[in-house]
């Protein structure tokens, strides 16, 4: 019963994280927890104390880094919607004319070297509280003309991002969290903002047009794909929003997760406990 509850908790954590680039943090925490149990069984008081504090610190750090995901978890738990956590969002298809309007706007913005940043919702609805500032409500139909107008340097909203949901521009002038990764600090603010929001949310992607060079970039899951041509951007968007696309899931099945943890635990048991017993001198009769 106890092991089953622990496995269920780990399984839920992997669903909350749900991204390959962050699984090493979860694995590291699990290793620390196993090391804490082993050190206690071996009677290593000081080592057990240190590892226990590391587990607590790591848990707090993960809660801080993934505060949006944990907030969603607690909200759905409080609303009795715990099963919603185990449902993966499917890509939201966009009409071809919407993608065409976005790509045409990006192409002209690139040619004129007009900086732009667009956040496109890809699956389940984005909680706008994940933005630093949700910007100004627009609620207008996606069009090349509207996008170009928003990003004109003389407009008040051109420095922020445009948030697009389906076939509508929800808001403009959106301020996004910046990425803290070292590599991103060499990039401009728009690129850092695109990396920052896609690091935190896996249900969006960002299109960036550089004001300095006019180059086009696409950000998803904290990674930049650049430089892109307008035709390549259209190809990627068509592929991304195709209803037939099956997104890769990194969450293992509960059975495979149990087998993996069982094997690792058995190996650790043999490594520490059997070696400890073998090194203990036998008493002579």
In terms of average pLDDT, the best of 22-31, 94-103, 233-242 is 233-242
Q: Residues 213, 113: contact at Cβ < 8 Å? A: yes
Report if residue 213 sits inside a domain: yes
Does 103 share its domain with 49? no
Least confident of 36-50, 58-72, 202-216, 260-274: 260-274
Report if residue 183 sits inside a domain: yes
Please state the three-class secondary structure of the chain as a single string.
CHHHHHHHHHHHHHHHHCCHHHHHHHHHHHHHHHHHHHHHHCCCHHHHHHHHHHHHHHHHHHHHHCHHHHHHHHHHHHCCCHHHHHCCCCCCCCCHHHHHHHHHHHHHHHHCCCCEEEEEECCCCCCHHHCCECCEEEEEECCHHHHHHHCCCCCCCCCCEEEEECCEEEEEEEECCCCCCHHHHHCCHHHHHHHHHHHHCCCEEEEEECCCCCCEEEEECCEEEEEECHHHHHHHHHHHCCCCCCCCCCCCCHHHHHHHHHHHHHHHHHHHHHHHHHHCCCCCC
Does 236 share its domain with 267? no
Does 215 share its domain with 135? yes
Q: In this predicted structure, what is the pLDDT of residue 252?
A: 44
Report if residue 165 sits inside a domain: yes
Does 198 share its domain with 271? no
Does 107 share its domain with 236? yes
Report if residue 249 sits inside a domain: no
Report if residue 11 sits inside a domain: yes
Report if residue 250 sits inside a domain: no
Whichever domain contains 119, its CATH number is 3.40.1700.10
Report if residue 285 sits inside a domain: no
Does 125 share its domain with 78? no
> Can you give the residue range of the structural domain that contains 273?
2-88+256-279
pTM above 0.85, yes or no: no
Does 178 share its domain with 129? yes
Number of folded domains in the chain? 2
Does 78 share its domain with 131? no
Does 222 share its domain with 260? no
Does 84 share its domain with 100? no
Torsion sign (Cα): 129, 130, 135, 141: negative
User: Cβ of 263: how many Cβ atoms within 10 Å?
Assistant: 10
Q: Residues 142, 164: contact at Cβ < 8 Å? A: yes
Does 74 share its domain with 166? no
Report if residue 251 sits inside a domain: no
Does 265 share its domain with 216? no
Give 247-284 pLDDT, tens digit per residue. 444 444 444 445 555 555 555 555 555 555 555 555 55
């Amino acid at each position: 019963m106890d092991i089953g509850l622990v496995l269920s908790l780990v399984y839920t954590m992997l669903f909350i994280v749900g991204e390959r680039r962050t699984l090493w943090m979860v694995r590291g925490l699990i290793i620390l927890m196993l090391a804490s149990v082993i050190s206690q069984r071996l009677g290593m008081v000081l080592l057990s104390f240190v590892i226990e504090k590391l587990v607590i610190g790591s848990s707090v750090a993960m809660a801080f880094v993934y505060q949006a995901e944990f907030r969603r978890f607690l909200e759905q738990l409080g609303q009795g919607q715990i099963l919603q956590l185990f449902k993966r969002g499917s890509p939201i298809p966009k009409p071809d004319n919407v993608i065409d309007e976005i790509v045409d706007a990006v192409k002209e913005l690139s040619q004129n070297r007009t900086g732009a940043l667009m956040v496109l919702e890809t699956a389940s609805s984005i909680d706008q509280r994940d933005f630093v500032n949700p910007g100004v409500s627009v609620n207008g139909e996606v069009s090349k003309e509207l996008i170009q107008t928003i990003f004109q340097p003389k407009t008040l909203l051109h420095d922020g991002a445009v948030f697009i949901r389906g076939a509508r521009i929800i808001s403009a002038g959106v301020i996004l969290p910046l990425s803290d990764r070292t590599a991103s600090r060499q990039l401009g603010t728009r690129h850092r903002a695109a990396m920052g929001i896609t690091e935190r949310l896996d249900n969006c992607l960002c299109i960036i047009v550089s004001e300095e060079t006019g180059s086009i970039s696409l950000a998803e899951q904290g990674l930049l794909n650049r430089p892109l041509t307008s035709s390549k951007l259209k190809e990627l968007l068509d592929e991304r929003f195709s209803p037939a696309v099956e997104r890769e899931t990194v969450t293992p099945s509960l059975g495979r997760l149990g087998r993996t943890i069982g094997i690792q635990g058995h190996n650790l048991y043999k490594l520490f406990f059997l070696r400890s017993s073998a090194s203990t001198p036998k008493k002579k009769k």
